[in-house]
Structure formats: structure tokens, C-alpha cells
């Protein structure tokens, strides 16, 4: 099969690309960085250098492909919702122009909700636009929160032996590792279901308190604590670090949405989604390495 992937050499593609190549598929990887071309080709794939905002480039790259993998990456400007809609329209025009019939889109948990989901509403907008493409087999993959988002706490753990959050430590949330997302994405790329389908990916579910209890002995920090801050403090911290006001407000709203896991994960549970393989205990080992400065570990809110 001929398969084109957006996302360059992000954490998911690093797993997906070698597996597809090993299975003798012809893989094209879109990257904005010419310097990554050699690394992509070293994996046995072809590199297409261009941007997601260049519709003509995408249409040319998508032409003749059996399936296209779409994912949102990079900056979203000052307005995440306007940017998401604009990107989805570019994708739509390119897919229609190229005559693509099979698409796998990396979306997000919360994409079934409206503005109440905060920043996650961007994925709802993208899904809505892609659904308007006629005669398209379209598989949405909705991962839960990335384990990697927890790396945002490394600095305060090191400095103050504390995790600061505007949600309570007993709030239960689902997290996912890139390999468990890849395990959902791969079979959809090689056999995209007919029509529109939704598929979730998660690895484990736990509370902030569970995270603390696992980290304390692993990091030898028995005094590690969870400090709950107000929404106002969270918002001030985001804007103080240069996050645009509209994005910061959307992130605060997302934290409000997360306080109702019975809503956030209702569709995931209704579809009887099985958990992946990477559990909290596994991630804690990675977290310890990150705490010690081993490897390249960083937080992100968009899958990359």
C-alpha cells in the first residue's frame, strides 16, 4: 500500500514508520524540516518536505495514496479554534483534490463534546469538517491525555518537591503512551474501516495521589506533595509564561471539563475500549530517568 503520514518523526510516527516499512508498504512522511529528510529515509520511508498549510503541496503529496494519516502539530497561533478550522479546511481541499478514499485522523478524547471541552474543542471542529467529505472512509483515533504531559511537573518537583495543579489529587484521569496509540493507528492504516469510525487509545487510569505514591519511593522523595492552586493562579501562570490569552482560557476550561470523568470518558467506556500495555509503574521508570536528566523528555498538549 501507499501510505502518507503527517507528523514527521514525532513520538507516534517513530513507532509507526518502521513497522509499516517492515510490512513492505510504501511510506511517505511529511516534514517541515529538511534536516529530517535523511533520518526519515534511513527508516526506509520517503520524505516530502513542506508545510500543512500548503494545500497544493498536500494535494500533490496525497495523490495516488491508498491512505493518508492526518494529525495536528506545531503552533496554533493565538486562536486554537480558528486555526483548527482553517487547517481542517486545507486538509479537506487537498484530500478532495487528490481523490483520497481512506483517512486516519489523530483526534483526541473530548472531540465528541462542544465548547465545554475547552482546548479539546479544536478536535471537535476538525472532525466536523472532515466528516463533510463525501465517499470517504474516515477513522478517528482519540487518545486520552499523554503521559508526557506529566513532564511539565519536573521543574517544581526538583525545586520544591511539589506538583502544582488546579485539579484535586483524587481526580481520576486516563493517560496514554505513544506506543499504545501506535497500536491503535497501525491496523487502521492498513485496513481502514468503511464509513466513519471512532477508536480510542488509553494505557492506564489513575489519580494524582496514585502518581505521588508511585513517585515518592522511585525518586526517594518521601516529602513529595500535591499543592492544589486556584483556576486564577493557573491562568496567571500560563499567561506569565507567554501563552496567548485565548489559549490559556481554553486550557483552564479543559481542566474544568476534566473534573467530570463520567462525561469525559463516557464514549470511551461505551465502546468497551481495552487498555493498552504501558501502565503507571512503567511510566514511573521513564519519569525517574527524566528526573535524572536522562533522555529527551518534555511535556506537550498536542500530539507530536
**All structural domains of the chain:** 2-144+176-201 (3.40.50.720), 149-172+204-269+276-291 (3.90.25)
Higher-confidence residue: 301 or 117?
A: 117
d(CA 295, CA 289) in angstroms, rounded, equals 7
pLDDT given at position 9: 95
d(CA 80, CA 86) in angstroms, rounded, equals 10
Helices 245-258 and 80-98 cross at an angle (nearest 10°) of 90
pLDDT given at position 302: 39
pLDDT given at position 176: 98
Mean pLDDT for 187-204 is 98
d(CA 10, CA 16) in angstroms, rounded, equals 10
pLDDT given at position 303: 34
Order across the sheet with 137-143: list the strands.
46-49, 26-31, 2-5, 67-71, 102-106, 137-143, 196-201
Q: pLDDT digits over 253-272, tens only?
A: 999 999 999 999 999 999 99
d(CA 12, CA 304) in angstroms, rounded, equals 7
Q: pLDDT digits over 216-240, tens only?
A: 999 999 999 999 999 999 999 999 9
d(CA 92, CA 129) in angstroms, rounded, equals 7
The DSSP 8-state label assigned to residue 219 in this structure reads: H
pLDDT given at position 295: 75
Amino acid at each position: 500500500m501507499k501510505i502518507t503520514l503527517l507528523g514527521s518523526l514525532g513520538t507516534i510516527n517513530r513507532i509507526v514508520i518502521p513497522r509499516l516499512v517492515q510490512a513492505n508498504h510504501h511510506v511517505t512522511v511529511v516534514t517541515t524540516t529538511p534536516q529530517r529528510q535523511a533520518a526519515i529515509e534511513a527508516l526506509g520511508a520517503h520524505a516530502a518536505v513542506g508545510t500543512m498549510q500548503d494545500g497544493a503541496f498536500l494535494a500533490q503529496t496525497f495523490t495516488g495514496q491508498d491512505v493518508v494519516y492526518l494529525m495536528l502539530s506545531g503552533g496554533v497561533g493565538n486562536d486554537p479554534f480558528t486555526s483548527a478550522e482553517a487547517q481542517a479546511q486545507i486538509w479537506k481541499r487537498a484530500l478532495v483534490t487528490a481523490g483520497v478514499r481512506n483517512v486516519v485522523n489523530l483526534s483526541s478524547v473530548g472531540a465528541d463534546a462542544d465548547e465545554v471541552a475547552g482546548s479539546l474543542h479544536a478536535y471537535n471542529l476538525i472532525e466536523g469538517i472532515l466528516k463533510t467529505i463525501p465517499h470517504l472512509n474516515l477513522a478517528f483515533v482519540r487518545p486520552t491525555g499523554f503521559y508526557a504531559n506529566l513532564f511539565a511537573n519536573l521543574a517544581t518537583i526538583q525545586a520544591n518537591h511539589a506538583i502544582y495543579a488546579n485539579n484535586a489529587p483524587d481526580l481520576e484521569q486516563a493517560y496514554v503512551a505513544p506506543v499504545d496509540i501506535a497500536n491503535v493507528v497501525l491496523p487502521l492504516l492498513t485496513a481502514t474501516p468503511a464509513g466513519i469510525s471512532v477508536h480510542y487509545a488509553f494505557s492506564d487510569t489513575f489519580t494524582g495521589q496514585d502518581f505521588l505514591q508511585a513517585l515518592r519511593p522511585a525518586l526517594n522523595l518521601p516529602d513529595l506533595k500535591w499543592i492544589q492552586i486556584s483556576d486564577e493562579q493557573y491562568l496567571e501562570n500560563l499567561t506569565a509564561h507567554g501563552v496567548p490569552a485565548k489559549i490559556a482560557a481554553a486550557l483552564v476550561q479543559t481542566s474544568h471539563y476534566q473534573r467530570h470523568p463520567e462525561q469525559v470518558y463516557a464514549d470511551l467506556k461505551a465502546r468497551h475500549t481495552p487498555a493498552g500495555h504501558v501502565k503507571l509503574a512503567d511510566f514511573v521508570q521513564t519519569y525517574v530517568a527524566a528526573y535524572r536528566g536522562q533522555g529527551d523528555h518534555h511535556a506537550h498538549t498536542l500530539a507530536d
